[in-house]
Structure 1
Amino acid sequence: MSQNLKIGLFLTVSILLTTFSFYFWQIYRSPNLLVQDNDKPFALLIPPGATFESVMDTLKKHDVVNDETSFRFLAKLMKYPERVKVGRYEIRPRMGNREALVKLRNGSQDAMDVTFNSMRQKSDLIQRLGSKFAFSPDSLGTLLNDPATCQKFGFDTTTIVCLFLPNTYKMFWTIKPEALLERMSTEYKKFWTPERQEKAKALGMSQTQVQVLASIVAAETNKRDEQPRVAGVYLNRLKQGIKLEADPTVIFALRDFGIRRLLNRQLAVDSPYNTYRYTGLPPGPINLPAPATIDAVLNAEKHDYLFFVVDARFNGYHTFSKTLSEHMANARLYQQALNRMKIMK
C-alpha cells in the first residue's frame, strides 16, 4: 500500500471517527428538550401501566422533544423502554437526552408543591386534594369516611378535616393516600406545639374545638387584624352560654354559599350547624381555617363585646357592641345599606 493511500485512509477514518463522535456527543449532551424558547420546566406524569410509547406520546403532544429520532435511539440504547417507572418528573428547558433519560430510567422523581386553603366541605377537600396525586379522590374519600381511620388520628368522620392545615407542602405525586394522612398528621403535630396546647387549655377548649371556632372566625372576616376581636366575641358568648348566632354556620347548614342576606325562615333550619338554634359550637369546622386564624383564636382579644355586625360602609370590617340595644341599632344601619343596594337574599 502506497504512502499516499495510507495517509488518505487514515484521514478518512479520522474524519469518520470525528463525525460519529460529534454525532454521539450531540445525541448524549446537546439540548434536545424544551428548546423552543421555554423558560419553565415541564412536569411529565407517568401513571401506572404507562409504556415507552405512551411516554413519547405525552412528550410529543406538549412539544417537549425537539429531535425525536435521537431521543428514541438513545432511549433504546439505554434500555429505557423496558424500565419505564411511574412518577412525576420535571423536564428542564434545554435538557439533554442522556440527562433526561437517566432521570426517567432511575425513577428520580421531583417533589411538587401541594397547596390547599379554606375549602368549605370535606367533599371539596377530597376532590381538590385527591386530584393532585396519582391516586383517585375516591381513594382519599374512602379513608376520610372510615371511622377507624379517623379515630387512628384522633378525630371522627366529621372532624377529620382538622388534620389538614392549609399551607404549601412538598410531596411526591406517587404518595399513597395512607402516607398522605401520616404526613398531614406530622404537620398537625408540628403546629400544635406545647405552647399552643396550653393556650387551648386556658380557653377551656380542645384543639379541635379551637379549629372549629377558627373556621367560624375565618368565615366572618378575612381581616387578620380583626380576627382576634371576632374570636373574643364568640368566646364571651360561649362562656356566658349564649348562642353563637353565627350566620356562616347557617349558610353551611343550607349548603348555599351564594347567600348574601339570610332570611328569618333560613335561620330556622334544623341542623346541628345552625348556631341560631343550638347552643355551643357546631359538630365540626365549616371550612379549613388558616394557621394564622387558629392563632387568632388562641390569642383572642379580651373585651366585653357580645355582638358584631358588618360595617354599613362595607369596608370589610365589623361594628362591635356590648349591649343588644347597641347591636340592634348597628344592625338596622346594615339592613338599610343592604336595602339601598337591593341585596335581598
Structure 2
Amino acid sequence: MRLLASCRAFWLRHPIRNSLLAVMLLLLSGGAGWAHYEIVRLDRMPLKGDGRYITIKRGTSARQLVSELAAEPVSPFWSAVWLKMRPGLGQIKTGTYRVESGWLVSHALVLVSSGKEALFSVTLIEGGRIEDFIRTLNQSPYVLATLEPDDADAVRSELGLKEENIEGLFLPETYSYTAGTRDIDILRRANRHLQEYLEKSWRDRAPGLPYQSPYEALIMASIIEKETGKADERPLIASVFINRLRKGMRLQTDPTVIYGVKDRYDGNIRRADLQDDNPYNTYMIDGLPPTPIAMPGKAAIYAALHPKRSNYLYFVAKGGGAHHFSTSLDEHNRAVRRYILGKNG
C-alpha cells in the first residue's frame, strides 16, 4: 500500500516523467510479448522438407543449424536467445543423422546433441571373393572408400594378416556402420568375426575329421560354399569331400578349377582347364587346395566341421540348385547321363 501511494504521489508531481515512464513500460511490455512470441515460434518451428539425412560438419554452430533446418526464416538474434534458454539443444555433435518428416527443429537438435548418428548397413555375400567385398563396400552409401578391388595386398598389410592369400578370411554378414567409416575398418571387423567364429567352431567340431588345423576346415568350408546354396545339402556335400579325403581320392571339384584359372574362366570349364597345372586344380592335386577359394558363411563352416554321416563319394547337379548323391562311380555316371546329358538309359 505504501508503494502504491508513493507511485501515485510521483505521478501527480511529475506528469511528463510519468508519460515517459508509461511509454517505457509499454515498450517493455511489448518487447516481452514479442520475445515470448519468438521463443514460442521457435519451440513450434517445423523442419524444412521431408525426412532425410543431414550431415553436421566440424565448425557448424547450433544457430547455423537452426537456420538451415527451419521451415520458415528465423532471426539469428532470436535463434541465439532461444538456444540460450534451451541450453541442452546447443551442444551439437558432428556426424550424419536421420531426421523424419513431421519433426520440429527442436527434435532434430535433441538428436544431433545426443550424438546418436544414423546407422547404415552393408551385406557381404557368402561365396564372394575379396575383390567382390571391396567392390560392395565401394558402392555402399556413406562408406569412405580407400581401397580398389585389386588392393588385396593393401588389406593384408593394413590388417597385419600373415596369410599371403587373404581369401576366405572375412566373415560374410550384414555390418552396421556410421557415415564416414572406412572400408578397411569394416573389413577389419569382418576378419575379427571370422576368427572368432572359426575358433569357436573348431573347439566344438565333430570328432575324427581329416583336418590338421582350423584353416584347413576354412578351405573346405569355402569349397562347400561354392558347391551349393541349399542349406540342407551343405552337410551332405561336406560328407562327400571328407569321405574322398579319407579314401585318398582327389576332390575333383569344379569351383577350385575356376578359382585356379581365374580370369581365363568365361563361364565354361574346358578340358584344358581340368588339366591345368596349378595348386587349386583338385583334378590334378591330392587333398585340399592351399587356401580358401571364397568367403564361406557360418553355415558352410558349420557343415565342414559337422558333416553328415554318409557313404557318398559323388554328386551331380540335377537342377533347381539341388544335387543327386551317389556311392559308386557307376551310379554317378548314370546320374550324369540323366541330369547333365538328358539321357535316361
TM-score, normalised via structure 1 length:
0.72
AA partner of residue 112 (structure 1)? F
Matched, 1:242 2:249: yes
How far residue 222 of structure 1 moved from its aligned partner, in angstroms, is 0.8
Aligned to 1:32: 47
AA partner of residue 123 (structure 1)? E
Candidates 74, 80, 95, aligned match of 1:87 = 95
Q: Conserved in 2, the CA contact under 8 Å of 1:86 and 1:174?
A: no
Q: What is the 5 A alignment of 1:40-189?
A: 42-45=52-55, 52=60, 65=69, 67=71, 69-70=73-74, 87-101=95-109, 103-104=111-112, 107-129=115-137, 132=140, 133-134=143-144, 136-137=146-147, 141=152, 143-146=154-157, 149-151=160-162, 156-158=163-165, 160-175=166-181, 180=186, 183-184=189-190, 186-189=192-195
**1:304/1:175 CA distance change after superposition, 3 Å:** same
Runs of 5+ consecutive residues of structure 2 not aligned to the other structure: 1-14, 85-90
Candidates 292, 297, 303, aligned match of 1:296 = 303
Give % identity: 27
Aligned to 1:224: 231
Matched, 1:333 2:343: no
Q: Conserved in 2, the CA contact under 8 Å of 1:33 and 1:96?
A: no
> 1:17-70: CA deviations, max 9, x gaps?
344433333335533154x4x4xxx334568xx7759xx9xxx9xxx9463744
How far residue 299 of structure 1 moved from its aligned partner, in angstroms, is 1.5
Q: How many residues align?
A: 316
How far residue 279 of structure 1 moved from its aligned partner, in angstroms, is 1.8
Candidates 306, 311, 316, aligned match of 1:309 = 316
**1:114/1:257 CA distance change after superposition, 3 Å:** farther
Q: Conserved in 2, the CA contact under 8 Å of 1:249 and 1:274?
A: yes
Aligned to 1:343: none
SS of residue in 1 equivalent to 2:174: strand
Which protein shows a greater Rg? 2
TM-score, normalised via structure 2 length:
0.72
**1:45/1:257 CA distance change after superposition, 3 Å:** farther
Q: Distance in 2 between matches of 1:97 and 1:284?
A: 55
Q: Conserved in 1, the CA contact under 8 Å of 2:169 and 2:295?
A: no
